[in-house]
Amino acid sequence: MIIVDNIYKSYKTNNGKTKNVLSDVSFTIPPKVSVALVGANGAGKSTLLRIIGGIEKPNKGSIQRDSRVSWPMGFGGGLQQTLTGRQNAKFVCRIHGHEDDIPERLKYIQDFAGIGEGFDRPVRTYSAGMKSRLQFGLSLAFDFDVYISDEVTAVGDAAFKKKAAEAFKKVADHASILMVSHSESTLKQFCSAGIFIYQGKAHWFDQLDDALTAYKESMPK
């Protein structure tokens, strides 16, 4: 279960003004429920995912996680830019207490990410797509109760997209997914419930179709 309580998030813009992204956001995600976040570009979907995943902190409010939650796949942050992909992977393995099987997990991560010799180059030299693929491999190399995906299934070529979709199908058998995707068919494939983010507020829907309908009705005619 994940409890989001009274979350506020704002940023300072380049001209010094404050942009409010999320305001008084509260909801509870039950165990074993996969949820799609829907809303317009810039509505705060990715920001909310990063807060739930612990990558960003809210200005106010709290997140209670009674389950193991992955970091947001598709988000290039969280990687040490001066380290190689392999060194980042080793570090994550040690954090998760997998000293004994590091070689096996490194092989899985390297094979899944499919970034070739880039695995041994500093992450600062990676493209955004390479960072996302590495993050995806890192997340899937460990067992979580909830996996967070930010447009991961849109990363890479057709072969990688197929591999990503197949991996998510396996994950969905034993874990929940929190997902942002521009593909409605992808959301429907993996998620049953929806959160519609509009004007800084989050609206929970038990049925994804109802969240998608609310989003479409909010769009300018």
Task: Please name every residue paired with 25 in a beta bridge, in sequence order, or none if there are none.
Answer: 7
Per-residue pLDDT of the chain (221 residues; tens, 9 = 90+): 899 999 999 998 888 889 999 999 999 999 989 999 999 998 999 999 989 988 889 999 999 998 888 877 665 556 788 999 999 999 888 887 787 889 999 999 999 888 999 999 999 999 888 888 888 888 888 888 998 888 765 566 677 778 877 887 888 788 899 999 888 988 998 899 999 999 999 999 999 999 999 999 998 87
pLDDT at position 57, please? 94
pLDDT at position 152, please? 65
Q: How far apart are CA 99 and CA 136, in angstroms?
A: 20
Contacting residues for 101 by C-beta, under 8 A, at least 6 apart:
none
Which CATH architecture best describes the domain 1-68+145-221? 3-Layer(aba) Sandwich (3.40)
| Domain-wise residue ranges, the chain | 1-68+145-221, 79-142
pLDDT at position 76, please? 55
The identity of residue 60, as a single letter, is K
Q: Is the pTM value of this prediction over 0.75?
A: yes
